Amino acid sequence: MKSANVSRAFLGVYHHVSKKHLQAYVDEFTFRYNNRKSEDMFALVLNRVVNVKRV
């Protein structure tokens, strides 16, 4: 993954990117990039939400 891809994605999605939440933005981008060819994204995300460990 190139930093240019991340920069372009941030410009297209977010109005502001804070340093405090930068890792969360990168994690979201990485998830989307790694699953960009997934046919059923809704089911994939729903499965992750249902199976998340509570803090």
Q: How many domains does the chain have?
A: 1
Quickly count: other Cβ atoms within 10 Å of residue 17's Cβ.
Answer: 14
Pairwise pLDDT comparison (52 vs 2), residue with the higher score: 52
Task: Evaluate whether residue 41 is within a structural domain.
Answer: yes
Task: Evaluate whether residue 26 is within a structural domain.
Answer: yes
Which tens digits make up the pLDDT trace of 7-23? 666 666 777 778 898 89
In this prediction, residue 20 carries a pLDDT of 92
Task: Evaluate whether residue 18 is within a structural domain.
Answer: yes
| CB-based contacts of 28-34 (< 8 A; 24+ apart in sequence) | 30/1, 33/1, 33/5
Task: Evaluate whether residue 36 is within a structural domain.
Answer: yes
Task: Evaluate whether residue 55 is within a structural domain.
Answer: no
Owning domain of residue 42 = 3-50
